[in-house]
Amino acid sequence: MNWRRTVAGGALALPLVVGGFVLARGEAGAQEGGGGAKVAPPPVVVAEVVTRPVAESAEYTGVLAAVQSVELRPRVGGFIDAVRFAEGGFVTAGQVLFQLDSRTFEAALARAQADLKQAEERRTLSERKFERGEKLVAEAAISRSDFDVLIAEKAEAGARVEAARAAVRAAEIDLQDTRVRAPIAGRVGRALVTPGNLVSGGGANATLLTTLTSVEPFHVFFDVDEATYLRFAGHDSGARGKDGRVNPVPVRVALKGDEGFTREARLDFLDNQVSPATGTARARAVLPNPDGKLAAGLFARVRLETGAARPTVLIQDHAVATDQKGRYVLVLRPDQSLEQRRVELGGTEVGLRVVRAGLAPGERVVLKGLARPGMTVTPTVVAMAGSEHAEGARP
């Protein structure tokens, strides 16, 4: 019956969506309902692949770390009088963060200053006795042994003055240390000790007051594989300088929420050994942080350039489809038919996917539309980047 043939013919035209385009079932030249009119080739959107120089690179997972990190502990013990910083805020080097009770240290300084004055008076007296003894021993009014005693007393008085001065200096330092200052500029943590508490200082068991981390720049630590390590290990490769340190190779960094590797860094350290357990070596890059928004412990994706730039084919992700055999794209032939092409993909570059193998410069791939391998189509050509803004149909 004619109505059964019509229904069957219509079923063959149902589309199947795969990847960024649509695979059509049935022949494009099938007749409608058994009539004589042929269906026109279906329209598709295609774009020419982008070709631009892209350096060979490898991607790794890293973690951010502060260049400087300090556990702030007091050099002297005492009671906390005041906490003088906003927790979690920025501080400058030398800024007072904690104030200890300084009264006992002020008294110790006054006592040391008094001892110094006393020692200076005794030195003056011994010098005068020595001057008189010089005249008397010349006149044989005193014995030579008595004069030797005067010489020793003068030297001892001078040494006592020096010792008293050192005691004064030590007391001054202890008094200054009652004001606990930030040794570096950076971001401060929370106050672990509040006013009124007794803290110990001056040793390994000194009380931890807070922590400080520098914020500009940051280090990014990541582990590279053996092949990459060997690429940068030798002097003859040009990857290391005369002093043996690795040259500052450009590195791209992406944090969570970043669209692509938008942050610029530079490689500045490569470890001197490869771990036999993991087959990797620790590497480090320097990442600027001018706005101070980054923090230690953040995870990052790192792209390290491992070779010179060479022409590379780039396409949009939604031009790629997948089947049981792997990934492929539909390439537009000169006769307006479509060819299925297997591709090997790499990372991303300027928002596009790197094609390591399978496509050549100048070829056009299907972005969307009714499409299947071998089908003849009517293409509309758009730019690869921003394909929603069509440039108009071209044959």
- Token representation of residue 10: 């219509």
Residue 19 has pLDDT above 60, yes or no: no
Cβ contacts of 305 within 8 Å, gap of 6 or more:
55, 56, 57, 249, 250, 251
DSSP 235-303: GGGTSB-TTSPBP--EEEEEETT-SSS-EEEEEEEE-S---TTTSEEEEEEEE--TT----TT-EEEEE
pLDDT for residue 228: 83
Nearest-CA neighbor of 288 among 261, 263, 258, 267?
263
CB 78 within 8 A of CB 198: yes
Mean pLDDT throughout 157-179? Answer: 95
Residue 168 has pLDDT above 90, yes or no: yes
Per-residue confidence band for 80, with pLDDT thresholds at 50, 70 and 90: very high
What is the number of residues in the chain?
Answer: 395
What's the one-letter identity of residue 178? T
Coil, helix or strand for 222?
A: strand
What's the one-letter identity of residue 249? V
Taking only the tens place, the pLDDT of each residue in 214-272 is: 988 999 999 988 888 888 776 555 666 666 677 778 888 988 888 778 889 998 888 88
Kind and range of the H or E run holding 212: strand 210-213
pLDDT for residue 389: 35
Q: In this structure, what DSSP letter does residue 34 have?
A: G
Kind and range of the H or E run holding 327: strand 326-332
pLDDT for residue 155: 93
- Token representation of residue 36: 């004589």
pLDDT for residue 36: 54
Residue position matching structure tokens 């300027």: 350
Taking only the tens place, the pLDDT of each residue in 288-344 is: 988 888 888 999 999 887 777 788 888 888 888 888 888 998 999 998 889 889 998
- Token representation of residue 344: 């090997």
pLDDT for residue 137: 83
Report the 10 Å Cβ neighbour count for 4: 8
Mean pLDDT throughout 50-73? Answer: 88
Instruction: Please list the residues that pair with 370 across neighbouring strands.
Output: 22
Per-residue confidence band for 59, with pLDDT thresholds at 50, 70 and 90: confident
pLDDT for residue 392: 39
Residue position matching structure tokens 């055999």: 325
Ordered domains of the chain (ranges, CATH): 57-68+215-308 (2.40.30.170), 75-213 (2.40.50.100)
Kind and range of the H or E run holding 223: strand 218-225
